[in-house]
Amino acid sequence: MIVTTTPTVEGHSIKTYHGIVVGEAILGANVIRDLFAGITDILGGRSGAYEQELGKARGVALAEMEDRAAAQGANAVVGVDLDYEVINNMLMVSASGTAASIEKNG
């Protein structure tokens, strides 16, 4: 599955658009509280533990989006956007894009 933030894939033609696909992941309040409580790993203003949890959530959101695209028969997701929101002390990571069927030119 090709996943890109661009509206096209260089060297490929989009043959079919399958619609918008979304994947979400939510970090619960306990995770956020625990991460802030363990801020002792901050070096230079960065928290490795917090970045690791954000990375996991981003990976889950992207994988869910890809699975939904594949279920629609797509082999690519174009125009991908990642959003981060705080909702009731929980962090939500959302990935959205357009599922598409592409083929290599030439």
Domain boundaries, the chain: 2-104
Report domain 2-104's class: alpha beta
CB atoms under 10 Å from CB of 84, counted, come to 12
- Whole-number Å distance between alpha carbons of 1 and 64: 12
CB atoms under 10 Å from CB of 98, counted, come to 18
pLDDT tens, residue order, the chain (106 aa): 999 999 999 999 999 999 999 999 998 756 555 555 555 555 556 666 677 888 889 999 999 999 999 999 999 999 999 999 988 878 899 999 999 999 999 8
pTM: 0.83
